Chain A
Protein backbone atom coordinates (compact mmCIF):
# COMPACT_ATOMS: atom_id res chain seq x y z
CA UNK A 1 0.00 0.00 0.00
CA UNK A 2 1.35 3.39 -0.91
CA UNK A 3 -0.36 6.42 0.48
CA UNK A 4 0.71 9.54 -1.34
CA UNK A 5 0.51 12.78 0.60
CA UNK A 6 1.71 14.55 -2.50
CA UNK A 7 -1.52 13.75 -4.32
CA UNK A 8 -3.40 15.25 -1.41
CA UNK A 9 -1.32 18.39 -1.11
CA UNK A 10 -1.47 18.92 -4.87
CA UNK A 11 -5.24 18.69 -5.05
CA UNK A 12 -6.12 20.15 -1.67
CA UNK A 13 -6.73 23.70 -2.97
CA UNK A 14 -9.34 22.41 -5.43
CA UNK A 15 -11.10 20.52 -2.67
CA UNK A 16 -11.08 23.51 -0.35
CA UNK A 17 -12.51 25.78 -2.98
CA UNK A 18 -15.22 23.21 -3.71
CA UNK A 19 -15.99 23.13 -0.01
CA UNK A 20 -17.32 26.67 -0.37
CA UNK A 21 -20.18 25.26 -2.41
CA UNK A 22 -20.84 22.64 0.22
CA UNK A 23 -21.06 25.35 2.85
CA UNK A 24 -23.20 27.57 0.63
CA UNK A 25 -25.69 24.81 -0.17
CA UNK A 26 -25.99 23.60 3.39
CA UNK A 27 -26.32 27.06 4.94
CA UNK A 28 -28.87 28.21 2.38
CA UNK A 29 -30.64 24.90 2.81
CA UNK A 30 -30.74 25.56 6.54
CA UNK A 31 -32.13 29.05 5.96
CA UNK A 32 -34.91 27.72 3.73
CA UNK A 33 -35.48 24.90 6.19
CA UNK A 34 -35.81 27.28 9.11
CA UNK A 35 -38.15 29.75 7.41
CA UNK A 36 -40.30 27.05 5.89
CA UNK A 37 -40.08 25.09 9.12
CA UNK A 38 -41.50 27.99 11.11
CA UNK A 39 -44.45 28.14 8.73
CA UNK A 40 -45.04 24.41 8.89
CA UNK A 41 -44.75 24.41 12.66
CA UNK A 42 -47.31 27.21 12.84
CA UNK A 43 -49.60 25.22 10.56
CA UNK A 44 -49.03 22.12 12.67
CA UNK A 45 -50.28 24.03 15.72
CA UNK A 46 -53.02 25.98 13.97
CA UNK A 47 -56.70 26.00 14.93
CA UNK A 48 -57.70 24.73 11.50
CA UNK A 49 -57.92 20.97 11.36
CA UNK A 50 -57.07 20.75 7.67
CA UNK A 51 -53.96 22.92 8.09
CA UNK A 52 -52.80 20.75 10.95
CA UNK A 53 -53.32 17.60 8.92
CA UNK A 54 -51.55 19.05 5.88
CA UNK A 55 -48.56 20.02 8.01
CA UNK A 56 -48.45 16.60 9.63
CA UNK A 57 -48.57 14.99 6.20
CA UNK A 58 -45.76 17.23 4.98
CA UNK A 59 -43.59 16.37 7.97
CA UNK A 60 -44.27 12.66 7.69
CA UNK A 61 -43.60 12.61 3.93
CA UNK A 62 -40.41 14.62 3.91
CA UNK A 63 -39.05 12.71 6.87
CA UNK A 64 -40.10 9.39 5.42
CA UNK A 65 -38.56 9.60 1.96
CA UNK A 66 -34.78 9.37 1.49
CA UNK A 67 -33.38 12.79 0.67
CA UNK A 68 -31.59 11.38 -2.34
CA UNK A 69 -34.92 10.25 -3.78
CA UNK A 70 -36.45 13.63 -2.97
CA UNK A 71 -33.57 15.35 -4.69
CA UNK A 72 -33.83 13.22 -7.84
CA UNK A 73 -37.61 13.56 -7.99
CA UNK A 74 -37.34 17.31 -7.52
CA UNK A 75 -34.83 17.59 -10.35
CA UNK A 76 -37.02 15.53 -12.69
CA UNK A 77 -40.24 17.29 -11.78
CA UNK A 78 -38.99 20.88 -12.08
CA UNK A 79 -38.50 20.98 -15.87
CA UNK A 80 -41.68 18.95 -16.29
CA UNK A 81 -43.54 21.64 -14.38
CA UNK A 82 -41.92 24.27 -16.59
CA UNK A 83 -39.74 25.75 -13.83
CA UNK A 84 -36.22 26.61 -14.82
CA UNK A 85 -33.89 27.03 -11.87
CA UNK A 86 -30.12 26.91 -11.65
CA UNK A 87 -29.15 23.47 -10.39
CA UNK A 88 -27.54 24.83 -7.23
CA UNK A 89 -30.70 26.73 -6.31
CA UNK A 90 -32.79 23.64 -6.92
CA UNK A 91 -30.44 21.66 -4.72
CA UNK A 92 -30.61 23.90 -1.69
CA UNK A 93 -34.34 24.35 -2.14
CA UNK A 94 -34.82 20.60 -2.11
CA UNK A 95 -32.55 20.16 0.89
CA UNK A 96 -34.35 23.03 2.61
CA UNK A 97 -37.76 21.50 1.96
CA UNK A 98 -36.63 18.30 3.63
CA UNK A 99 -34.94 20.13 6.48
CA UNK A 100 -38.10 22.16 7.07
CA UNK A 101 -39.85 19.01 8.27
CA UNK A 102 -37.15 18.40 10.88
CA UNK A 103 -36.86 22.04 11.92
CA UNK A 104 -40.64 22.22 12.32
CA UNK A 105 -40.54 19.31 14.74
CA UNK A 106 -37.61 20.79 16.68
CA UNK A 107 -39.51 24.06 16.95
CA UNK A 108 -42.63 22.31 18.10
CA UNK A 109 -40.63 20.70 20.90
CA UNK A 110 -39.09 24.03 21.88
CA UNK A 111 -42.46 25.80 21.87
CA UNK A 112 -43.74 23.31 24.39
CA UNK A 113 -41.02 24.48 26.75
CA UNK A 114 -42.36 28.03 26.65
CA UNK A 115 -44.86 28.60 29.41
CA UNK A 116 -48.46 28.90 28.20
CA UNK A 117 -48.74 31.90 30.48
CA UNK A 118 -46.81 34.00 27.99
CA UNK A 119 -49.32 33.23 25.30
CA UNK A 120 -52.16 34.10 27.62
CA UNK A 121 -50.45 37.34 28.59
CA UNK A 122 -50.11 38.25 24.92
CA UNK A 123 -53.75 37.38 24.32
CA UNK A 124 -54.75 39.53 27.25
CA UNK A 125 -52.78 42.43 25.79
CA UNK A 126 -54.50 41.91 22.45
CA UNK A 127 -51.29 41.18 20.55
CA UNK A 128 -52.22 39.78 17.12
CA UNK A 129 -51.15 36.15 16.45
CA UNK A 130 -48.59 37.00 13.80
CA UNK A 131 -46.80 39.43 16.08
CA UNK A 132 -47.02 36.93 18.91
CA UNK A 133 -45.20 34.37 16.78
CA UNK A 134 -42.71 36.74 15.24
CA UNK A 135 -41.81 38.77 18.31
CA UNK A 136 -42.33 36.41 21.22
CA UNK A 137 -42.59 32.73 20.42
CA UNK A 138 -40.18 32.11 17.54
CA UNK A 139 -37.18 33.99 18.99
CA UNK A 140 -37.47 32.08 22.25
CA UNK A 141 -38.07 28.74 20.57
CA UNK A 142 -35.06 29.13 18.28
CA UNK A 143 -32.95 29.85 21.32
CA UNK A 144 -34.24 26.89 23.31
CA UNK A 145 -33.81 24.57 20.34
CA UNK A 146 -30.45 25.97 19.29
CA UNK A 147 -28.45 22.78 19.99
CA UNK A 148 -30.87 20.76 17.87
CA UNK A 149 -30.82 23.29 15.05
CA UNK A 150 -27.01 23.26 15.08
CA UNK A 151 -27.19 19.49 14.85
CA UNK A 152 -29.51 19.82 11.90
CA UNK A 153 -27.05 22.15 10.19
CA UNK A 154 -24.25 19.61 10.68
CA UNK A 155 -26.53 16.98 9.19
CA UNK A 156 -27.14 19.24 6.19
CA UNK A 157 -23.42 19.66 5.59
CA UNK A 158 -23.20 15.89 5.38
CA UNK A 159 -26.26 15.36 3.19
CA UNK A 160 -25.21 18.17 0.86
CA UNK A 161 -22.84 15.55 -0.54
CA UNK A 162 -25.92 14.02 -2.17
CA UNK A 163 -26.08 17.05 -4.45
CA UNK A 164 -23.11 15.54 -6.26
CA UNK A 165 -25.48 12.92 -7.65
CA UNK A 166 -27.44 15.59 -9.54
CA UNK A 167 -24.22 17.03 -10.88
CA UNK A 168 -23.51 19.99 -8.62
CA UNK A 169 -19.83 20.76 -8.30
CA UNK A 170 -19.66 20.73 -4.52
CA UNK A 171 -17.01 19.00 -2.48
CA UNK A 172 -17.96 15.39 -3.13
CA UNK A 173 -18.44 15.95 -6.85
CA UNK A 174 -15.10 17.67 -7.21
CA UNK A 175 -13.48 14.85 -5.25
CA UNK A 176 -14.99 12.39 -7.69
CA UNK A 177 -13.69 14.40 -10.63
CA UNK A 178 -10.20 14.59 -9.18
CA UNK A 179 -10.27 10.86 -8.50
CA UNK A 180 -11.21 10.31 -12.11
CA UNK A 181 -8.04 12.11 -13.16
CA UNK A 182 -5.60 10.90 -10.55
CA UNK A 183 -6.88 7.36 -9.87
CA UNK A 184 -6.11 7.99 -6.22
CA UNK A 185 -9.47 7.39 -4.54
CA UNK A 186 -8.14 6.58 -1.08
CA UNK A 187 -6.09 9.75 -0.71
CA UNK A 188 -8.64 12.08 -2.26
CA UNK A 189 -11.65 10.74 -0.35
CA UNK A 190 -9.71 10.68 2.91
CA UNK A 191 -8.79 14.32 2.39
CA UNK A 192 -12.42 15.06 1.53
CA UNK A 193 -13.58 13.35 4.71
CA UNK A 194 -11.16 15.49 6.70
CA UNK A 195 -12.57 18.66 5.14
CA UNK A 196 -16.13 17.66 5.97
CA UNK A 197 -15.01 16.82 9.47
CA UNK A 198 -13.34 20.17 9.94
CA UNK A 199 -16.40 22.07 8.66
CA UNK A 200 -18.62 20.18 11.08
CA UNK A 201 -16.21 20.59 13.96
CA UNK A 202 -16.16 24.34 13.31
CA UNK A 203 -19.95 24.50 13.22
CA UNK A 204 -20.17 22.50 16.45
CA UNK A 205 -17.60 24.80 18.06
CA UNK A 206 -19.36 27.93 16.84
CA UNK A 207 -22.66 26.48 18.00
CA UNK A 208 -21.34 25.89 21.49
CA UNK A 209 -20.00 29.43 21.66
CA UNK A 210 -23.32 30.81 20.49
CA UNK A 211 -25.14 28.70 23.05
CA UNK A 212 -22.94 30.04 25.78
CA UNK A 213 -23.35 33.58 24.55
CA UNK A 214 -27.12 33.25 24.49
CA UNK A 215 -27.17 31.32 27.74
CA UNK A 216 -29.01 28.37 26.26
CA UNK A 217 -29.82 25.77 28.88
CA UNK A 218 -29.69 28.33 31.67
CA UNK A 219 -32.91 29.40 33.17
Chain B
Protein backbone atom coordinates (compact mmCIF):
# COMPACT_ATOMS: atom_id res chain seq x y z
CA UNK B 1 0.00 0.00 0.00
CA UNK B 2 1.01 3.54 -0.60
CA UNK B 3 0.38 4.68 2.93
CA UNK B 4 3.30 7.11 2.94
CA UNK B 5 1.59 8.78 0.00
CA UNK B 6 -1.44 9.67 2.05
CA UNK B 7 0.81 10.92 4.82
CA UNK B 8 2.78 13.09 2.43
CA UNK B 9 -0.36 14.52 0.93
CA UNK B 10 -2.21 14.54 4.24
CA UNK B 11 -2.33 18.32 4.72
CA UNK B 12 -3.54 18.93 1.16
CA UNK B 13 -6.22 16.25 1.50
CA UNK B 14 -7.26 17.64 4.85
CA UNK B 15 -7.59 21.15 3.46
CA UNK B 16 -9.54 19.71 0.54
CA UNK B 17 -11.86 18.05 3.00
CA UNK B 18 -12.25 21.33 4.85
CA UNK B 19 -13.25 23.12 1.65
CA UNK B 20 -15.70 20.34 0.80
CA UNK B 21 -17.36 20.76 4.18
CA UNK B 22 -17.31 24.55 3.91
CA UNK B 23 -18.96 24.58 0.50
CA UNK B 24 -21.46 21.99 1.63
CA UNK B 25 -22.53 23.79 4.78
CA UNK B 26 -22.50 27.37 3.50
CA UNK B 27 -23.94 26.34 0.15
CA UNK B 28 -26.77 24.24 1.51
CA UNK B 29 -27.70 26.70 4.25
CA UNK B 30 -27.70 29.49 1.65
CA UNK B 31 -29.74 27.35 -0.72
CA UNK B 32 -32.17 26.63 2.09
CA UNK B 33 -32.51 30.35 2.79
CA UNK B 34 -33.04 31.20 -0.87
CA UNK B 35 -35.46 28.30 -1.23
CA UNK B 36 -37.44 29.51 1.77
CA UNK B 37 -37.57 33.00 0.30
CA UNK B 38 -38.82 31.61 -3.01
CA UNK B 39 -41.48 29.55 -1.25
CA UNK B 40 -42.63 32.62 0.70
CA UNK B 41 -42.72 34.76 -2.43
CA UNK B 42 -44.66 32.01 -4.16
CA UNK B 43 -47.18 31.88 -1.34
CA UNK B 44 -47.95 35.59 -1.62
CA UNK B 45 -47.56 36.20 -5.36
CA UNK B 46 -50.19 36.62 -8.00
CA UNK B 47 -50.33 34.33 -10.99
CA UNK B 48 -47.62 36.27 -12.85
CA UNK B 49 -45.18 36.17 -9.96
CA UNK B 50 -45.86 32.48 -9.52
CA UNK B 51 -45.20 31.80 -13.19
CA UNK B 52 -41.83 33.58 -12.94
CA UNK B 53 -40.83 31.67 -9.81
CA UNK B 54 -41.95 28.41 -11.40
CA UNK B 55 -39.86 29.20 -14.48
CA UNK B 56 -36.80 29.74 -12.28
CA UNK B 57 -37.44 26.47 -10.47
CA UNK B 58 -37.86 24.51 -13.70
CA UNK B 59 -34.84 26.13 -15.35
CA UNK B 60 -32.49 25.32 -12.49
CA UNK B 61 -33.87 21.81 -12.02
CA UNK B 62 -33.77 21.05 -15.72
CA UNK B 63 -30.08 21.76 -16.26
CA UNK B 64 -26.91 20.02 -15.01
CA UNK B 65 -25.15 21.50 -11.99
CA UNK B 66 -21.92 21.49 -13.98
CA UNK B 67 -23.34 23.77 -16.68
CA UNK B 68 -24.68 26.10 -14.00
CA UNK B 69 -21.20 26.27 -12.50
CA UNK B 70 -19.66 26.96 -15.90
CA UNK B 71 -22.12 29.78 -16.54
CA UNK B 72 -21.29 31.32 -13.17
CA UNK B 73 -17.55 30.80 -13.16
CA UNK B 74 -16.58 31.14 -16.80
CA UNK B 75 -19.59 33.14 -18.03
CA UNK B 76 -19.76 35.39 -14.97
CA UNK B 77 -17.01 37.79 -16.09
CA UNK B 78 -19.06 38.55 -19.22
CA UNK B 79 -21.61 40.28 -17.01
CA UNK B 80 -19.14 41.65 -14.52
CA UNK B 81 -19.28 38.80 -12.01
CA UNK B 82 -15.73 37.83 -11.12
CA UNK B 83 -15.68 34.98 -8.65
CA UNK B 84 -12.92 32.91 -7.12
CA UNK B 85 -13.43 29.16 -7.56
CA UNK B 86 -14.60 28.73 -3.96
CA UNK B 87 -16.96 31.71 -4.26
CA UNK B 88 -18.34 30.34 -7.51
CA UNK B 89 -18.69 26.93 -5.89
CA UNK B 90 -20.66 28.24 -2.93
CA UNK B 91 -22.75 30.59 -5.04
CA UNK B 92 -23.44 27.79 -7.50
CA UNK B 93 -24.47 25.50 -4.68
CA UNK B 94 -26.92 28.08 -3.37
CA UNK B 95 -28.54 28.46 -6.77
CA UNK B 96 -28.50 24.76 -7.58
CA UNK B 97 -30.12 23.77 -4.28
CA UNK B 98 -32.67 26.59 -4.03
CA UNK B 99 -35.44 25.14 -6.21
CA UNK B 100 -35.33 21.78 -4.45
CA UNK B 101 -35.46 23.50 -1.08
CA UNK B 102 -38.21 25.79 -2.36
CA UNK B 103 -40.33 22.80 -3.32
CA UNK B 104 -39.85 21.29 0.13
CA UNK B 105 -40.94 24.49 1.83
CA UNK B 106 -43.79 24.98 -0.61
CA UNK B 107 -45.13 21.55 0.27
CA UNK B 108 -44.79 22.59 3.91
CA UNK B 109 -46.87 25.71 3.29
CA UNK B 110 -49.50 23.73 1.46
CA UNK B 111 -49.79 21.28 4.32
CA UNK B 112 -51.14 24.08 6.53
CA UNK B 113 -54.89 24.44 5.84
CA UNK B 114 -56.00 27.85 4.54
CA UNK B 115 -58.41 28.12 7.45
CA UNK B 116 -55.47 28.48 9.81
CA UNK B 117 -54.14 31.39 7.76
CA UNK B 118 -57.59 32.98 7.82
CA UNK B 119 -57.97 32.52 11.55
CA UNK B 120 -54.61 34.24 12.04
CA UNK B 121 -55.51 37.08 9.69
CA UNK B 122 -58.79 37.57 11.52
CA UNK B 123 -56.75 38.12 14.69
CA UNK B 124 -54.81 40.85 12.88
CA UNK B 125 -51.49 39.04 12.63
CA UNK B 126 -48.98 40.16 10.01
CA UNK B 127 -48.08 37.71 7.28
CA UNK B 128 -44.58 37.38 8.72
CA UNK B 129 -45.96 36.60 12.17
CA UNK B 130 -48.17 33.96 10.57
CA UNK B 131 -45.15 32.35 8.89
CA UNK B 132 -43.04 32.52 12.03
CA UNK B 133 -45.58 31.45 14.62
CA UNK B 134 -48.17 29.38 12.77
CA UNK B 135 -46.62 27.91 9.64
CA UNK B 136 -42.96 27.25 10.46
CA UNK B 137 -43.51 25.38 13.74
CA UNK B 138 -46.00 23.08 12.01
CA UNK B 139 -43.84 22.55 8.94
CA UNK B 140 -40.82 21.70 11.01
CA UNK B 141 -41.93 18.15 11.59
CA UNK B 142 -42.92 17.40 8.01
CA UNK B 143 -39.97 19.07 6.29
CA UNK B 144 -37.13 17.76 8.42
CA UNK B 145 -36.92 14.44 6.62
CA UNK B 146 -36.85 15.86 3.07
CA UNK B 147 -34.50 18.68 4.14
CA UNK B 148 -31.91 16.38 5.69
CA UNK B 149 -32.37 14.02 2.78
CA UNK B 150 -31.53 16.71 0.28
CA UNK B 151 -28.60 17.94 2.33
CA UNK B 152 -27.21 14.42 2.14
CA UNK B 153 -27.60 14.48 -1.63
CA UNK B 154 -25.71 17.76 -1.65
CA UNK B 155 -22.72 16.26 0.20
CA UNK B 156 -22.12 14.20 -2.91
CA UNK B 157 -22.61 17.09 -5.29
CA UNK B 158 -19.60 18.84 -3.72
CA UNK B 159 -17.39 16.58 -5.85
CA UNK B 160 -18.59 18.37 -8.98
CA UNK B 161 -17.03 21.61 -7.70
CA UNK B 162 -13.65 20.15 -8.70
CA UNK B 163 -14.43 20.86 -12.35
CA UNK B 164 -14.21 24.60 -11.74
CA UNK B 165 -10.93 24.02 -9.84
CA UNK B 166 -12.38 24.43 -6.37
CA UNK B 167 -9.58 22.85 -4.29
CA UNK B 168 -11.94 20.44 -2.51
CA UNK B 169 -11.36 16.82 -1.67
CA UNK B 170 -11.73 15.30 -5.14
CA UNK B 171 -9.59 18.03 -6.67
CA UNK B 172 -6.78 17.44 -4.17
CA UNK B 173 -7.01 13.70 -4.70
CA UNK B 174 -6.77 14.15 -8.45
CA UNK B 175 -3.72 16.38 -7.97
CA UNK B 176 -2.10 13.76 -5.80
CA UNK B 177 -2.91 10.99 -8.26
CA UNK B 178 -1.51 12.94 -11.18
CA UNK B 179 1.67 13.88 -9.39
CA UNK B 180 2.42 10.40 -8.14
CA UNK B 181 0.96 8.33 -10.99
CA UNK B 182 -1.06 6.24 -8.55
CA UNK B 183 -4.73 6.11 -9.28
CA UNK B 184 -6.40 2.99 -7.99
CA UNK B 185 -5.68 3.31 -4.27
CA UNK B 186 -6.46 7.01 -3.93
CA UNK B 187 -9.75 6.67 -5.74
CA UNK B 188 -10.84 3.59 -3.86
CA UNK B 189 -9.92 5.33 -0.61
CA UNK B 190 -11.80 8.44 -1.74
CA UNK B 191 -14.89 6.39 -2.58
CA UNK B 192 -14.85 4.80 0.84
CA UNK B 193 -14.37 8.19 2.42
CA UNK B 194 -17.37 9.75 0.67
CA UNK B 195 -19.40 6.69 1.48
CA UNK B 196 -18.55 7.03 5.15
CA UNK B 197 -19.35 10.74 5.03
CA UNK B 198 -22.76 10.16 3.47
CA UNK B 199 -23.57 7.38 5.93
CA UNK B 200 -22.53 9.67 8.76
CA UNK B 201 -24.67 12.58 7.58
CA UNK B 202 -27.61 10.21 7.07
CA UNK B 203 -27.19 9.00 10.63
CA UNK B 204 -26.99 12.59 11.82
CA UNK B 205 -30.07 13.44 9.78
CA UNK B 206 -32.03 10.59 11.34
CA UNK B 207 -31.06 11.84 14.80
CA UNK B 208 -32.17 15.38 13.99
CA UNK B 209 -35.39 13.97 12.63
CA UNK B 210 -36.02 11.97 15.77
CA UNK B 211 -35.27 15.02 17.89
CA UNK B 212 -37.70 17.21 15.97
CA UNK B 213 -40.51 14.68 15.93
CA UNK B 214 -40.11 13.74 19.59
CA UNK B 215 -43.22 15.66 20.64
CA UNK B 216 -45.38 14.33 17.91
CA UNK B 217 -46.79 11.38 19.82
CA UNK B 218 -47.41 13.43 22.90
CA UNK B 219 -49.75 15.78 21.07
CA UNK B 220 -52.06 13.13 19.73
CA UNK B 221 -53.42 11.01 22.55
A contact residues vs B (CB 8 Å cutoff): 1-3, 60-61, 63-70, 72-73, 76-77, 80, 154, 158-162, 164-165, 172, 175-176, 179, 184-187, 189-190, 192-193, 196-197, 200-201
A158 contacts across to B, CB distance below 8 A: 63-65
Whole-angstrom CA separation of A86 from B80 in the bound complex = 41
Determine which of A68, A172, A179 lies in contact with B170 in the assembled complex, contact meaning CB atoms within 8 Å. A68
B64 contacts across to A, CB distance below 8 A: 158-161, 172, 196
B78 contacts across to A, CB distance below 8 A: 1-3, 184-186
Please judge, given known A-B contacts A1-B79, A68-B159, A186-B78, whether A197 and B195 are in contact too, CB under 8 Å: no
Contact A172 B191 (CB under 8 A): no
Q: Does B56 contact A (CB under 8 A)?
A: no
B183 contacts across to A, CB distance below 8 A: 76, 80
Contact A192 B67 (CB under 8 A): yes
B190 contacts across to A, CB distance below 8 A: 69, 73
B contact residues vs A (CB 8 Å cutoff): 58-59, 62-68, 70-71, 74-76, 78-80, 156-160, 162-163, 170, 174, 183-184, 187-188, 190-191, 194-195, 198-199
Please judge, given known A-B contacts A64-B195, A66-B194, A68-B160, whether A197 and B63 are in contact too, CB under 8 Å: yes
Contact B71 A190 (CB under 8 A): yes
Contact B80 A1 (CB under 8 A): yes
Determine which of A69, A77, A164 lies in contact with B184 in the assembled complex, contact meaning CB atoms within 8 Å. A77
Whole-angstrom CA separation of A100 from B72 in the bound complex = 32
Whole-angstrom CA separation of A110 from B170 in the bound complex = 35
Contact A66 B66 (CB under 8 A): no
15 contacts between A and B (CB under 8 A): A2-B78, A65-B156, A65-B198, A69-B187, A72-B174, A76-B183, A80-B183, A162-B160, A175-B67, A185-B71, A186-B75, A189-B70, A190-B75, A193-B59, A200-B63
